[in-house]
Structure 1
Amino acid sequence: MIFYFVGCSSNDDDASILTQAPYKTLTDSINDYPNRAELYHRRGTLLAQSEELDLAKTDYLKAWSLQGSEENAISIASVLMKQNTDSAILFIEQALKKLPQSIVLQVSLARGYQQKKDYNKALTVCNNIIVQFPNQIDALLLKAELLQTMNRGAEALQTLEQAYKYAPFDAELAYNLAFEYAQAKNPKALAVADSLIKMDSSKSHAEPYYIKGVYYANNGNTTEALNFYNQAIQHDYYFIDAYMDKGSLLYDSKDYPQALKTFQLAAKVTPTFADAYYWQGKTEEAMGKKQEAKQNYQRAYSLDKSLVEAKTAAEKL
């Protein structure tokens, strides 16, 4: 067992927390039955839900020392991943010596490497899982995600296709695949999107229509793209991506009044979304409304300091 990443949680404030609701009942039970791992795990879960991560980690580690189960190991890893990625990776590597067949731990290890931006190591872990279990969807999805990050889009698409063969009714997977098809200008995007529309019994999902819009936009069919972006918004008024892509398409078509109206709606739907104000500024600048443009650029930058182009645009005006 390794302890060098474990923080101390024994001060008076921590002790008082454990004697208060909602932890008191479990604390009393732990005092009566100090060797029952599930009690520590249950209290650790409550603590983690309240973001008392050091206390949660201490309880999970105690549960793990009493019962070396996959559930206890995953709980420790999830807390450590929020606190220190290196510690999480180190723990998972040690836990896998005890539970070498745990797919969940192996995927968690890959996510740890991903979090550290060590994409090659993460990819190696995913590939090792897939060699043993070709239909392991979590590993396939993570592999596709990693490949996209590494600008290996064609391989990412092949990986998603492989996953889709094993789980054609997995909605999240189907959305990812359809979107990648749309980005690649592949007409298969339309077929997958249609299958998602058929699966949507509540008729409340905007994604399939949005994906069709992306496909047509990428293929230069502005009319159809706008049609499907509008359908996406009709199905989900708060689907911000449809507003932004629709507005960008109108902007590129030099239909500035309609583009501005669309970006204004986006800002109304999500008032804290900086890009909506940035694009209002771009559109107003194109329309010669420099004062309004400057105000929107400044608002965009105030909402998102990483949006340096908004700050630069405001200074130029």
Structure 2
Amino acid sequence: MSKPFFGFFLLVFIVLEACNNTATDKTTTTIPAAEKELRDAVVAHPDSFALKEKLIKYFSDNSNFGQAITETEKAIKGDTANAKLWDIKSMLYFLNRDTTHAIAALEKAIAIDPQPVYKISLGLTYAQTKNKKALLLSDELLKDPKAKAGMQALFIKGFYFSYMGDNQKAI
């Protein structure tokens, strides 16, 4: 009878010791050194687009798209007319498999600065989502000689028709 009694107290003691381990503080999280360094640099130089972009890239490279998007949104609040930030935001949403928000961000980038590169990205995203606007954007790129994006425009059309299952038109 004393062995089970002793075993019970030993088990209770072990459980209590495990629960009272003050060496492990689970509420404290440590920020990786690279992230802390980048955050400190952004705080020290708040007007540096390059540093903000590095911080966003750091999170993206570590597949932390939610945090990368949050940092991009912070940067956009300080510079709403920066089409590059909207393009970055769209790419992050795309990598996070959120094409709806990716499209909205690209549309905003184009509204700010209608560069062919943004139109190509939007056209490809439209094509992937089977949106007929892909064809309109590709036609727009074909008609604009300054865009120099004829090959990309044809690729968008082919991509769209491929996603639609129309292989004859895709070729």
Tell me whether the two structures share a fold, i.e. TM-score over 0.5. Answer: yes
Percentage of identical aligned residues = 25
1:258-314 C-alpha deviation (Å, 9 max, x unpaired): xxxxxxxxxxxxxxxxxxxxxxxxxxxxxxxxxxxxxxxxxxxxxxxxxxxxxxxxx
Q: Which amino acid aligns with 2:136?
A: A
Structure 2 residue 142 is the aligned partner of structure 1 residue 197: yes
Distance in 1 separating the partners of 2:133 and 2:49: 31
Residue in 2 aligned with 1:97?
43
Superposition pairs for residues 129-148 of structure 1, below 5 Å? 129-148=75-94
Distance in 1 separating the partners of 2:117 and 2:147: 16
Note the residue ranges of structure 2 that are not aligned, 5 or more in a row: 1-31
Distance in 2 separating the partners of 1:133 and 1:204: 28
Q: Which amino acid aligns with 1:192?
A: L
What is the CA-CA distance between 1:92 and the residue it aligns to?
2.2
Cα 1:224–1:109 shift into 2, 3 Å:
same
Note the residue ranges of structure 1 that are not aligned, 5 or more in a row: 1-85, 227-317
Distance in 1 separating the partners of 2:81 and 2:47: 15
Contact kept, 8 Å, 1:107 with 1:138, in 2: the verdict is no
Residue in 1 aligned with 2:122?
177
Structure 2 residue 77 is the aligned partner of structure 1 residue 124: no
Residue in 1 aligned with 2:110?
164
Distance in 2 separating the partners of 1:204 and 1:136: 23
1:99-145 C-alpha deviation (Å, 9 max, x unpaired): 11222211221111111111111111011112232222222112111
Superposition pairs for residues 40-51 of structure 1, below 5 Å? none
Q: Which amino acid aligns with 1:195?
A: E
Cα 1:138–1:131 shift into 2, 3 Å:
same
Distance in 2 separating the partners of 1:136 and 1:113: 20
Residue in 1 aligned with 2:54?
108
Distance in 1 separating the partners of 2:87 and 2:65: 14
Cα 1:203–1:149 shift into 2, 3 Å:
closer
CA RMSD of aligned residues (A): 2.1
